[in-house]
Amino acid sequence: MANWDKKYFVTELRDVVQGAPWSPVFADNEARRVLSLDGEVIKDAFYMETAWFFPGDWPDKTGSRKDRTIGKHVHSYDEVFAWIGTDNKDQYNLNGEIEIWIDGKQNIIDRTFLAFIPAGVEHGPINIRKITKPMFHFSAGMGKKYRDK
């Protein structure tokens, strides 16, 4: 029988990440948060969040879902985030496109990637342009909470 110490492991998702007004809420068939961690979940932990993104109508051509864009923001800590493709024959093929603005410059990425965003660097908007196979996403930062400056 499985057994673990809850002061070290997170196995359930809390409802809301505090202090992230720029983060959209997706429908379950679009994306699903999996787990998140910060100093409120486990004492002294840094911020991390994981999610799945699924194929669908990306971008929303009706304009009715502008809330699916992650807005511009800045952190007082370094952040790393990734989108990872799930093609077992080519794990570097994202099978989609992510548009990320970093320091005022547009980046369109169609490969599995990690992005390092230094503290104080504005990033966003982040837009999902296309998904043809599920993608796994995570973000992590050395801050105790996911919040802006």
Hey, is 23 helix, strand or coil? Answer: coil
Residue 82 and residue 114 in contact, taking contact as beta carbons nearer than 8 Å = yes
pLDDT tens per residue, range 29-55 = 888 889 999 888 899 999 899 999 999
> Is the per-residue pLDDT at 67 higher than 60?
no
Chain segment 74-121, per-residue pLDDT in tens: 999 999 999 999 999 999 999 999 999 999 999 999 999 999 999 999
| SS3 category, 67 | helix
Q: What is the pTM of this model?
A: 0.84
Instruction: Report the 10 Å Cβ neighbour count for 108.
Output: 10
Torsion of CA 59, 62, 67, 71, to 10 degrees: 50
Q: DSSP assignment, residue 45?
A: P
Query: Do residues 146 and 19 make contact, with C-beta atoms less than 8 angstroms apart?
Result: yes
Average of per-residue pLDDT values in the chain? 86
What mean pLDDT do residues 8-34 have?
A: 76
- One-character DSSP codes across 89-112: T-TTEEEEEEEEEETTEEEEEEE-
Select from 2.60.120.10, 3.50.50.60, 3.40.50.300, 1.10.287.610 the CATH code of 31-141: 2.60.120.10
Segment 119-126 shows an average pLDDT of 94
pLDDT for position 58: 77
Range with the poorest average pLDDT among 20-29, 56-65, 103-112, 131-140: 56-65
Closest CA to 73 of 125, 37, 135: 125
The predicted structure's pLDDT at residue 20: 56
* Least confident residue range of 21-25, 36-40, 62-66: 62-66
Residue type at 34 in one-letter notation: V
Q: According to the model, what pLDDT value does residue 148 have?
A: 47
| Average pLDDT of the segment spanning 138-146 | 81
